[in-house]
Amino acid sequence: MSEPITIEMLERRIDRLRGELRRAATTGDRMQARALRAELRQAEHAWDDALADLEDQARPAPQPVHKPMLSIREQVHHALTLLTVPAAPKLIIAVHDAFFPGELVAARLTSLRRDEERSFRVQPFGRPYYLCPALTADLLSPARGLLALSTWPLETRVVGPLSARVDFLIGAIKVAQRVAQLPEDAHDARRLLWRFAASIPGAGGAGITPGSVAELAQAELDVHLDADTADRAAAAIRAQERLDGSEALFGARLQRLRRTASKA
**Predicted pLDDT at 70:** 81
**Predicted pLDDT at 110:** 78
More confident residue, 151 or 261: 151
Q: Does the structure show a pLDDT above 60 at 249?
A: yes
> pLDDT tens across 188-214, in order?
999 999 999 999 998 876 678 999 999
Helix (H) or strand (E) holding 148: strand 142-149
Query: β-strand 158-159 against 142-149: which pairing, if any?
Result: unpaired
Q: Does the structure show a pLDDT above 90 at 166?
A: yes
SS (H, E, C) 210-252: HHHHHHHHHHHHHHHHHHHHHHHHHHHHHHHHHCCHHHHHHCC
> Are the C-beta atoms of 210 and 176 separated by less than 8 Å?
yes
More confident residue, 148 or 23: 148
pLDDT band at 255 (very low <50, low <70, confident <90, very high): very low
> pLDDT tens across 87-119, in order?
999 999 999 999 998 888 888 787 888 899 999
Mean pLDDT of 181-187: 90
Beta bridge partners of 87: 147
Q: What's the mean pLDDT when you consider all of the chain?
A: 86
Percent of the chain with pLDDT over 90: 55
Q: How far is CA 47 from the centre of its chain?
A: 51
Mean pLDDT of 218-243: 95
**Predicted pLDDT at 73:** 92
> Are the C-beta atoms of 100 and 78 separated by less than 8 Å?
yes
- What predicted TM-score, i.e. pTM, was given to this entire model? 0.71
Mean pLDDT of 216-228: 96
Mean pLDDT of 27-51: 84
**Predicted pLDDT at 58:** 67
**Predicted pLDDT at 222:** 97
> pLDDT tens across 125-138, in order?
899 999 999 999 99
> pLDDT tens across 50-88, in order?
877 777 776 665 555 555 578 899 999 999 999 999 999
